[in-house]
Amino acid sequence: MTDWEKRYQLGDTPWEKGMAAPPLLEVLAKGADWGAGPILVPGCGLGHDVRALATLEAPVVGLDLSPTAVERAREFPPVGAEVYELGNFLDPAWRAGRKFSAVWEHTCFCAIDPSERGRYAEAAAACLEQGGLLAGVFFLTPFDPGEAACGPPFATTVEELDAWFSPWFERIDGWVPGAAYPGRESREWIGLYRKR
């Protein structure tokens, strides 16, 4: 199991790009219905995606397992009504009694062990209000051909995503993003799911 706190303390964070994920900016430009908030960003890291979502003028909660990541995210000037919390998205105790209008997925699903993906889907369904949006960018092929395919990040497929989410969600859109961090071009897929 990855020690995310240790990696943040050591600065061993190759996923940290210093800006919001280009696929998120693409989704925002398309005008998806995020609801009135709050919007949840599990595995938020330093909060770049959180601050991009805060431009929607809805409350946004950035959640991370790493105290260092949360502390550093809080050091950025606020954009809107965003907050950062220490916690585990997969822990029912953390999400008990909480409801969100949307969840933005970027780095949590690909970071957890694939055996936990069922728990992830259940957690997303449990914390979203009826009609809530699960939007995310998912890693399809994180590794170069011939490179050892060990994660994290762990790869997925569109078919697998649909299978995990279909008990609670209907897929309303999906596409390969036109913009990506350098090196991730054509390796990711944006999925938009609406909770039934």
**Domains of the chain, each with CATH number or no CATH:** 4-195 (3.40.50.150)
- Residue 147, pLDDT above cutoff 70: no
Residues 6+ apart with CB under 8 A from 5: 65, 66, 67, 68, 69
Q: What percent of the chain has pLDDT over 90?
A: 83
Residue-wise pLDDT tens digits, 28-67: 999 999 999 999 999 999 999 999 999 999 999 999 999 9
Task: For residues 21 and 9, give the distance between their C-alpha atoms in angstroms, rounded to a whole number.
Answer: 22
State residue 66's pLDDT score. Answer: 96
Arithmetic mean of pLDDT over the chain: 93
Strands 188-195, 128-139: pairing is: antiparallel
State residue 143's pLDDT score. Answer: 72
State residue 15's pLDDT score. Answer: 87
State residue 145's pLDDT score. Answer: 63
Residue-wise pLDDT tens digits, 8-32: 999 888 889 999 999 999 999 999 9
Burial class (CB in 10 A: 0-12, 13-18, 19+), 40: buried
Q: Closest Cα partner for 54 from 40, 43, 68, 64?
A: 40
State residue 149's pLDDT score. Answer: 61
Residue-wise pLDDT tens digits, 64-79: 999 999 999 999 999 9
Contact 53, 75 (CB under 8 A): no
The alpha carbon dihedral of 150, 153, 159, 165 has a sign of positive
Q: What percent of the chain has pLDDT over 70?
A: 95
State residue 52's pLDDT score. Answer: 98
Residues 6+ apart with CB under 8 A from 68: 5, 8, 9
State residue 188's pLDDT score. Answer: 95
State residue 2's pLDDT score. Answer: 77
State residue 152's pLDDT score. Answer: 87
